[in-house]
Structure 1
């Protein structure tokens, strides 16, 4: 079933797909390109910023950024877990003050405003701490007026990706492209329909999708120190 050898292979395949859709190093660097750019994909002279979703999306994003000649950063998102079932998301927060809540989950578990506020406070602290860890004190890249290419290693429900897209817009991105090696087909269709991203580009949308890891021969966990090292060598 494996489609990708590992995350770096996924990055190479995703970068090749982006190139076939009109992206080029010349475009991301703000130069000119002889290649005609398809409508809705990009424009000559556009400024690209590639944003990896930690942790698994960062190795994929590193390859994409290198192939596109674009700068690399992370975009931070944290799940808001139900107080009595922390593994179950009742929403998520992202950089730039973005918050998305699942009202049906909040009602089902009778989550109070006080409980929600406490979970949000805790996750905001964790988000800020991890952003500082990953960037080692560097400021986040400026997204104002840029096309933000958001990269993860795959997408199942899309909850994290939605918040990341909204966060990129809140931070000033003029256009948001969600780029993925593999994703559930119905989730892609829903995100496109809802307009969370201006465009969703996916290498593989298998008919039967259960888990992202099933599509990798090597899906070894990406650690915090791996993210730090990737960002450090791409600064």
Structure 2
């Protein structure tokens, strides 16, 4: 099992795996998923010498288990639901509708905060390296990939330090390439694969995105 010292080290390792093909290219962008994915993405962006931006998504949390994703909503308004998990947990439809509305409101606030009035970096025709700090169910990353695909990039590469086998399989059909040094069964919490997995504050995200 690989344990990363922190998100920065995870980004460095991913950058090493990506460098040969993507370093220094003018047609490459790195796009992090807030919040933790931005820290990993910033390290990759710096080491590859390519621009950094984000794809904003919000997890839809299960009742009484907010860290368990039953779906996600993206900044483009797209909603992806894990219907199998929703049925298995017997989540009421009213709860799902309420959670979608709530997370859309939070997402709009986060976009205003993180972008500070800046427009998203254009991605049409570009190679987009989409980054998160871990992949569990895959709902959040799937929503991000679907939202990004609608903006017509030439290629989507998903880079993540650790992924569950379930999440990996889900993303494999939605992106063009996956770079992941560790795919595991019975993954548990993403933080288990880091020595330090401190919460990422909004101020750090804003600082990283502002360059």
- Listed as ranges, the gaps of 5+ residues in structure 2 are none
Q: Work out the CA distance in 1 between the residues paired with 2:61 and 2:6.
A: 29
Q: Work out the CA distance in 2 between the residues paired with 1:216 and 1:174.
A: 32
User: Of residues 71, 90, 96 in structure 2, which corresponds to 1:91?
Assistant: 71
Q: Report if aligned partners of 1:50, 1:64 keep a CA contact under 8 Å in 2.
A: yes
Partner of residue 30, structure 2: 50
Partner of residue 108, structure 2: 128
Partner of residue 19, structure 2: 19
Q: Work out the CA distance in 2 between the residues paired with 1:162 and 1:140.
A: 19
Q: Report if aligned partners of 1:96, 1:171 keep a CA contact under 8 Å in 2.
A: no
Partner of residue 196, structure 1: 174
Paired residues, number? 208
Q: 1:97 to 1:174 in 2, by over 3 A?
A: farther
Shift of the alpha carbon at 1:101?
Answer: 1.8
1:107-118 matched pairs, under 5 angstroms? 107=87, 108-112=90-94, 116-118=96-98
Q: Work out the CA distance in 1 between the residues paired with 2:193 and 2:99.
A: 33
Shift of the alpha carbon at 1:106?
Answer: 4.9
Q: 1:11 to 1:89 in 2, by over 3 A?
A: closer
Q: CA RMSD in A?
A: 2.1
Give runs of ≥4 in structure 1 deviating > 6 Å: none
Shift of the alpha carbon at 1:161?
Answer: 0.8
1:21-170 matched pairs, under 5 angstroms? 22-25=21-24, 27=25, 29=26, 47-81=27-61, 85=64, 87=66, 88-107=68-87, 108-112=90-94, 116-170=96-150
- Listed as ranges, the gaps of 5+ residues in structure 1 are 30-46
Shift of the alpha carbon at 1:90?
Answer: 3.6
Query: What secondary structure sits across from 1:124 in the alignment?
Result: helix
Partner of residue 197, structure 2: 219
Q: Work out the CA distance in 2 between the residues paired with 1:58 and 1:222.
A: 9
Structure with max Cα Rg? 1
Q: Report if aligned partners of 1:183, 1:202 keep a CA contact under 8 Å in 2.
A: yes
Partner of residue 208, structure 2: 230
TM-score normalised to structure 1 length? 0.80
Query: What secondary structure sits across from 2:22 in the alignment?
Result: coil
Q: 1:103 to 1:184 in 2, by over 3 A?
A: closer
Q: Report if aligned partners of 1:98, 1:170 keep a CA contact under 8 Å in 2.
A: no
